[in-house]
């Protein structure tokens, strides 16, 4: 099943996917997806992000090969955004690109998970778009916080999809469009470190908890995102996530 979280008529509601792209409210009513304000589909815990986890993307950004050990960094909850949300592009940057990524959501408290048991701790999956600001990148192995931790720079959703409804998460198509033009077309089968490897690696040195989110990296095809661009990222069977780029965030009052 596909689950979402929205604000409708002043209330935060857990919703499900209805027929014909509609949203089904808890009371059974059906409304258009544009009639609600979308939130990230879950209240996530720790957010892990993978860098250079597709060999083609590593070559695309002039990194000769992907790391032998997963390159992982953390993201703050401030970065998360919902479907149809807006993401600010700082006025002083030259290159800010989208990244279509499979999000893996942990469903059980776990530690030292073996590869062969890894799917047993997965609650489900979601589509994410993890923007990166290349101007701020100092070192691929130690990315500056400003690269990946800006407010609202990681749209997630619209749906969280139960693991039982995704029979082969390592064979899903990832697509990205900019203003209707296809830019990314890849597959999760091309990950360098697959989902079981990532869960075994992370749980080998820290406890994972329900709601923790692993963003598993992006294939090649990334491109600069400009103000007023509509960026659509989609993962086969999980959902189509729409985001709009707007000008630099207003100064705090």
List the pLDDT tens digit at each of the 253 positions of the chain: 999 999 999 999 999 999 998 999 999 999 999 999 999 999 999 999 998 898 764 454 545 565 678 989 899 999 999 999 999 999 989 999 999 999 999 999 999 999 999 999 999 999 999 999 888 876 655 556 778 888 999 999 999 999 999 999 999 999 999 999 999 999 999 999 999 999 999 999 999 999 999 999 999 899 999 999 999 999 999 999 999 999 976 665 5
Burial class (CB in 10 A: 0-12, 13-18, 19+), 39: buried
Q: Which domains does the chain have, with CATH numbers?
A: 1-39 (2.30.30.370), 40-246 (3.90.850.10)
């Amino acid at each position: 099943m596909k689950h979402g979280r929205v604000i409708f008529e002043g209330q935060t509601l857990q919703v499900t996917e209805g027929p014909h792209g509609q949203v089904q409210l808890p009371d059974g009513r059906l409304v258009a997806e544009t009639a609600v304000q979308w939130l990230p589909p879950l209240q996530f815990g720790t957010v892990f992000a993978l860098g250079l986890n597709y060999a083609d993307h590593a070559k695309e950004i002039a990194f000769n090969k992907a790391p032998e050990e997963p390159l992982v960094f953390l993201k703050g909850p401030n970065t998360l955004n919902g479907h149809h949300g807006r993401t600010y592009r700082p006025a002083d940057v030259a290159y800010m690109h989208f990244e279509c990524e499979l999000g893996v959501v942990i469903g059980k408290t776990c530690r030292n998970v073996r590869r062969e048991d890894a799917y047993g701790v997965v609650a489900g999956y979601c589509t994410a778009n993890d923007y990166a600001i290349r101007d701020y990148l100092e070192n691929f192995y130690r990315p500056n916080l400003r690269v990946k931790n800006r407010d609202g720079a990681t749209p997630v959703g619209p749906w969280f999809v139960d693991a039982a409804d995704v029979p082969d998460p390592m064979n899903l198509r990832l697509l990205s469009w900019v203003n209707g033009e296809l830019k990314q077309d890849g597959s999760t089968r091309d990950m360098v470190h697959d989902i079981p490897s990532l869960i075994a690696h992370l749980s080998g040195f820290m406890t994972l908890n329900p709601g923790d989110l692993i963003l598993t990296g992006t294939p090649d095809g990334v491109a600069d995102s400009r103000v007023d661009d509509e960026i659509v990222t989609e993962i086969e069977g999980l959902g189509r996530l729409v985001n709009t780029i707007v000008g630099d965030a207003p100064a705090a009052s």
